[in-house]
Structure 1
């Protein structure tokens, strides 16, 4: 391969100075030791395919195994990346709960009733004024001014209760109902939180005649929270009320909504015709979110916990309360006033002039508002099935000893609301991939494709640190036995 002549070493690649030949030999020896140490690692490691890299076999066999190993590694990395994306984008899953819940664990739905005749003649004779306008008769400027306002939101007489029953017990209607100003004017609501529990102190209460308040007995929120429901010490008489059994009846004209959500009658309602009995069967839908999900951001879990989102006017966060507050603030910015039913303080007093137009366009307007109003992480919704039959109320009164009643003189309607079943299956929002789940999936994929486990990483660290130190003490060199 070479010869020594005139103080030089001749090789195939050229001539090399004798002083450089020692460096070359040291380099060759180091590379040999590195190959020896790497071959020893390949013999002992548990990673699939590495043992074939260290064997003294043909180059073709080694190249084939290198290609196979790299291909498996590339596929493994690709699958792990997809698992990571799924973990980051969809870490939460909603499934049916494993156990049923009883209806007494959730509140009875809040029921808001509104009379179609909202105008008391002691304030304004709307029918007379409307007839005069239709016939082209002259009316006063005051009547002309009041007509469009009172046609929409007159705080008129609400004396339309006849009999109210709750859980088989008859109550004075105004003892269990409280007045509330909605987008349909003055209404009465059952089982909704009191204004003190619904609004913050900065909200100005709408003026309501005292005759509607003298019998109502407000409750106190002590044994119930929106996130965790009723406590273990909650008794039969709770606030908000709950039904202990299916089949409770109430004579109501109703709009169904959650007990902590402000009612919007124009958007969610059904009508009770005269001389009809409307039967409403309620099926609750509850969504529960585990505390583990709280570790994820709102953009990933797509919901708010009560402690995470604070509203300006409402004490409790709901998606609709948030949208209503956002609509209120936007209306104030654009018009300088707000609609009468919207929450407001003393600085926001005023009645929006184009209320009917605003309500007709509310759905489109909401979609244009940029509000961070994600759904609640813990919520209860109520689905209804409605049946309608004729209501022979006069026969019922005759059976109670009231004598013959003239059907033409009185017209009554009845509404029966009850839970369809005493039990229901809630939904649960849980982690799809937790940190341990993701680690287990990654470990399984690494083991499936290339045979890497947690010990394999410690094995690499061992060969790069501790084994070298021990070799220096045992063999006086770092690479171990000479002819390995």
Structure 2
């Protein structure tokens, strides 16, 4: 058994002092040999390639590519010429460094590629950039041509939350025949002339100081007196207090329900029972009513949707509401671009809520006031405006029939409101059989003069339409990023890379060179000063 080794007998660990640069240097410079090149074994693929190179077309391709590579390029396209070295002897340009590190597709082809390959990829990249710019410009032009869009929301609004429309009842005839005959005898005017309100035949009325407003009010029949029963949303809920007399722009006295009010209906709606109060001959079809369905804050005009209901019938009017609302971003664009008014953007004469029909009616009153210095009776007017009399009737008729008056309507700037409720309806009219039997028993030669009218929502849900901007800054970023990413593979990172390599890095390199040159000049000045001092000593 040998004795155990002590710490004194163990040799110290070996320490190798090796410099990596010295390690790479050849140990024997005389024995340094260049690297050997082994010939590539000739296989089937090499033979096929060698045979293909003998073809005239392939040889023409190689010669054309060599000539194409020797073509002179402009100075700003010198980066397209291929390098003649391996990249270790010649210093790389900033563009080549950017191409090696760029995340945009295709730029890495410029490093190590041939001249024709660089030119080909440069043309493809320029084409992609031009196409992306073209499509972005088209997207901007589309957003400028159509700055707003309407879309239907998937979540419908309950009909009980939509204001019920105004229901206006008017007679078929402007003036009843019996009242017209009695007033014509009283005033000494033929009924035909009084019906047409001819200015030449109304001289007796003018001499008697009868105003135009008095003529209309004396000849018109109060329509609200013909409504015998009014039920609102319940058989036990009387709505007679909701009825108001209303004059339309065609000088007719009507009775309107829910005018200048805001009522909401759950399901039953409105029920009206009307009676003309006079027997109706069976051969006369002019007895009945016109039912106008419109917004509660609108003035009924000749453009208002209406339904003709003859006497002795039952009419069911099924209303379908459409809610048009806006988004908050719509107020950020101008009125000319969105093509509609918000509620506080347009001045009003008489109505509390803006609508296009009210704007046209008010502008019509303003034009008549400019021409005749007055407005017709029951027209929208400002406080202090004079109401036209029979002397101004001829001026008002000429103003309304003038072609320039119709052409100026396009310059009134009566745009539609951005947010409003629209009502469409369908009707079902049937003969009032119960009343018909009673009328036949009492008056066999006359049909019933009663009308039963029911107006209600046809569905518990209302369709909601949203008016929004076509493109805002967020959607534009998405559109721009999608187009540039599709054509160029561009992203925010690639844009930052381009800014860094085109602006930041050249600036830093220039500052570094200036600092080095400044240090050299400083060293030269210090050396010259020391030399002068040394010579002086």
What TM-score do the two structures reach when normalised by structure 2?
0.63
Question: Which residue of structure 2 aligns with residue 417 of structure 1?
Answer: 455
State the structure with bigger RCO (CA 8 A, min sep 6), 1 or 2: 1
Count matched residues.
393
Judge which range, 361-370 or 407-416, deviates more.
361-370
Match for 2:148 among 75, 92, 103? 92
Contact 2:314 2:451 in 1 (8 A): yes
Question: How far did residue 40 of structure 1 move?
Answer: 1.1
* 1:93-132 correspondence runs (5 A): 93-115=149-171, 116=173, 118=175, 125-126=182-183, 128=185, 129-130=189-190
Match for 2:415 among 359, 368, 374? 374
Query: Which structure 2 residue ranges, 5 or more long, are not aligned?
Result: 1-88, 195-200, 275-288, 518-537
Question: How far did residue 177 of structure 1 move?
Answer: 0.6
Question: How far did residue 380 of structure 1 move?
Answer: 0.9
Q: Provide the alpha-carbon RMSD of the alignment.
A: 3.9
1:390 has 2:467 as partner: no
1:187 has 2:251 as partner: no
Question: How far did residue 441 of structure 1 move?
Answer: 1.1
Structure index of larger Rg: 2
* 1:323-334 correspondence runs (5 A): 323-334=360-371
Question: How far did residue 264 of structure 1 move?
Answer: 2.1
Question: Which residue of structure 2 aligns with residue 178 of structure 1?
Answer: 244
* 1:38-437 correspondence runs (5 A): 38-53=95-110, 55-115=111-171, 116=173, 118=175, 125-126=182-183, 128=185, 129-130=189-190, 142=204, 154=218, 156-158=220-222, 159-169=225-235, 174-183=240-249, 184-193=251-260, 239-246=261-268, 248-251=270-273, 253=289, 254-264=291-301, 268-351=305-388, 352-354=392-394, 365=406, 368-392=409-433, 394=435, 405-406=442-443, 408=446, 411-437=449-475
Q: Distance in 2 between matches of 1:272 and 1:356?
A: 30
Query: Which structure 1 residue ranges, 5 or more long, are not aligned?
Result: 1-31, 194-238, 399-403, 479-484
Change (3 A) 1:361 1:141: closer
Give a deviation string over 1:142-183, Cα, whole Å, max 9, x none. 358779987866464413222222213356664221122322
Give a deviation string over 1:394-429, Cα, whole Å, max 9, x none. 36989xxxxx75464962222221211221222122
Q: Distance in 2 between matches of 1:49 and 1:422?
A: 59
Change (3 A) 1:369 1:140: closer
1:456 has 2:518 as partner: no
Contact 1:100 1:423 in 2 (8 A): yes
Give a deviation string over 1:37-60, Cα, whole Å, max 9, x none. 22211211112232233x244332
Change (3 A) 1:441 1:381: same
Contact 1:393 1:412 in 2 (8 A): no
Choose between structure 1 and 2: higher helix proportion. Answer: 2
Change (3 A) 1:396 1:360: farther
